[in-house]
Amino acid sequence: MSATTRLLTQLQKTALDAIFPPGCISCAEPIDTPGNLCANCWPEMTYISAPFCDKCGFPFEFDAGDGFVCATCLKQPPVFARARAVFKYDDASRDMILGYKHSDQTNRAPTFANWMSRAGADLINDCDIICPVPLHHKRLIKRRFNQSALLVREIAALVDKPAIPDLLTRKRPTRSQGGLSAKARLRNVRGVFEVTAARKAQLHGARVLLIDDVLTTGATVNACSKCLLEGGAIKVDVLTLSRVVRASNTAI
């Protein structure tokens, strides 16, 4: 290999490392294709695929037919129309997501967006604009980025749909939803979101795809969806990287 070829190869590698993490995006073991999971981590993830609840995307063991809705959604229909996720939030996926969110592993965003664009292809197809669940500006300063807004940017670039990262804002800071009961989560986000005044015209009559990293009880995305629908959206779908799947599915 000549010195020039070596330099070019190194430059290419550096450029790829800047876009994608050099190792497995979960365990950091060296792998051949950057921005991927290694052969050990890939089968550990529980990918969510049909059959699932037509509304909240809760996976079913058996196919009950198109349009089938889970007991929880029947009892209390969510505000959003449909929610879909790439994989289950569990021991296998937790560290990978928390590392992205809290340890500046933002170079995982293109890979996550790639997976999300496939898992949410139907929702993406039906949407006019894509927006994230917003962070309060105080938390944004602390964390330096909104993990959901990064996903929005990457997904929008992949699928060529308009992204509006500041469509929603948080009126006041809220405590983290982590560790709160379903009821406390609802209370915590009630009346917290508002449509950014300068974006109201763009929202009017639009079908919105709302992006977040994890769907837990649905309290946050429901509160955002309510705000978007009251602000003039005609439909809100939700796409997340992962979702909590409890046997009873009583949370959403």
Site for Zn ion, rule CB under 5 A: 24, 26-27, 29, 38, 41, 53, 55-56, 58, 70, 73
Nearer to Zn ion, 25 or 159 (CB): 25
- Minimum Å gap between C-beta 84 and Zn ion is 11
Q: Within 10 Å of residue 175's Cβ, how many Cβ atoms?
A: 9
Nearer to Zn ion, 26 or 174 (CB): 26
Largest CA distance in the chain: 68
Nearer to Zn ion, 38 or 159 (CB): 38
Nearer to Zn ion, 38 or 45 (CB): 38
Tell me whether residue 109 is exposed, middle or buried, using C-beta atoms within 10 angstroms of its C-beta: 0 to 12, 13 to 18, 19 or more: buried
Nearer to Zn ion, 29 or 104 (CB): 29
Nearer to Zn ion, 58 or 89 (CB): 58
Nearer to Zn ion, 70 or 135 (CB): 70
- Minimum Å gap between C-beta 131 and Zn ion is 22
- Minimum Å gap between C-beta 153 and Zn ion is 25
Q: Which residues have a Cβ under 8 Å from the Cβ of 133 and sit 6 or more positions away?
A: 148, 168, 210, 211, 212, 220, 221, 224
- Minimum Å gap between C-beta 27 and Zn ion is 3
Give the CA dihedral 66, 71, 75, 78, nearest 10 degrees: -60
- Minimum Å gap between C-beta 252 and Zn ion is 6
Which residue shows structure tokens 């909240």? 56
- Minimum Å gap between C-beta 40 and Zn ion is 5
Contacts of the segment 39-47: beta carbons below 8 A, 24+ positions apart: 41/92, 44/92, 45/87, 45/88, 45/92, 45/93, 46/87, 46/88, 46/90, 46/92, 46/93, 46/245, 47/86, 47/87, 47/88
Q: What angle, rounded to 10 degrees, do the helices at 109-119 and 147-159 form?
A: 60
Give the CA dihedral 221, 189, 178, 130, nearest 10 degrees: 30
H or E, element range at 213: strand 207-215
